[in-house]
Amino acid sequence: MSDTATAPAIRAVVLDMDGLLIDTEPAWRAAETAVFGELGSQLSEDDMLATMGRRIAEVVAHWRRVRPWPGAETGEPSDAAIADRVIDRMVAHVRARGEAMEGADPAVALLRRLGLGVAIASSSSHRLIDAVCDRLGLAWIEIRCSADDEVRGKPAGDVYVTAARRLGLSPTACLAIEDSPSGVLAARAAGMLCIAVPDRFLSGDPRYREAQLILGSLDELDEAALRSLGWRGQNEEG
């Protein structure tokens, strides 16, 4: 963890959302399977894992190019319209059946109790982020950043840079927590230290090694883990 030696004390934590706070990754795969199937393109589990963590509009554009469905060359329906169909399914799922990931509730409560700033930096759209915050009782998290607002999505660090700016901090004073390899790369590209909580289907991906700490679940997040990455209690800050 040599990166922590010269980093400023951590003052805020920036959280990914899908697969970290809420168990939506299987729902994403189901929604994509259904929508692309309706278009005439059959995607495998491995196909969808390969695009995990990317903006849905980018996913649609990728498969239009790589695995075109009948009539894909006409551009109708548009990438945005297809993405909206997937997001509609996701919002409906979250509102009806969304469940917090293991350890998410106590982890977020810990961050709040310690007085750390908290933000969300997600590849998902604002309407899905808002639906998740409503479902999980996270309305108090006011800084919600979507990569839809950025020129570049993850693995570029843009959404994390925006989150730090809105927190009023340097990225180096923020700790990111991510579950996807592209998210880890995004956090590191922004200049943040990162904790990875790997998706179970991707746990062997070497990109997770870019994180400063790897946890099996958010249940393992505690004060000792935060201290190991540079957090100091409020009475210790100088």
Q: Which of 141, 117, 116 is nearest to 17 (CA)?
A: 141
Counts of helices then strands in the chain (DSSP H, E): 9, 6
Domains identified in the chain and CATH numbers: 2-23+100-236 (3.40.50.1000), 25-97 (1.10.150)
The pLDDT, as a whole number, for residue 53 is 80
Helix (H) or strand (E) holding 124: none
Dihedral sign, Cα of residue 56, residue 61, residue 66, residue 68: positive
CB 145 within 8 A of CB 162: yes
The pLDDT, as a whole number, for residue 8 is 72
- Which residues are identified as catalytic? 16, 18
What are the backbone dihedrals phi and psi of residue 218, each rounded to the nearest 5 degrees, phi first? -70, -15
Longest dimension (CA), the chain: 63
22: Cβ contacts below 8 Å, ≥ 6 apart: 94, 98, 99, 100, 101, 104, 132, 135, 136
Determine the residue type at 218. L
Please give the structure tokens belonging to residue 67: 């695995």
What are the residue ranges in the chain where pLDDT is below 50?
Answer: 1, 238
Please give the structure tokens belonging to residue 74: 């006409």
Please give the structure tokens belonging to residue 28: 């994403």
pLDDT 10s digits, 32-75: 999 999 999 999 989 988 888 889 999 999 999 999 999 889 98
The pLDDT, as a whole number, for residue 69 is 92
CB 215 within 8 A of CB 225: yes
The pLDDT, as a whole number, for residue 11 is 97
Task: Please give the model's pTM, rounded to 2 decimal places.
Answer: 0.90
The pLDDT, as a whole number, for residue 17 is 97
The pLDDT, as a whole number, for residue 209 is 97
Radius of gyration, CA atoms only, the chain: 18
The pLDDT, as a whole number, for residue 52 is 85
pLDDT 10s digits, 117-138: 999 999 999 999 999 999 999 9
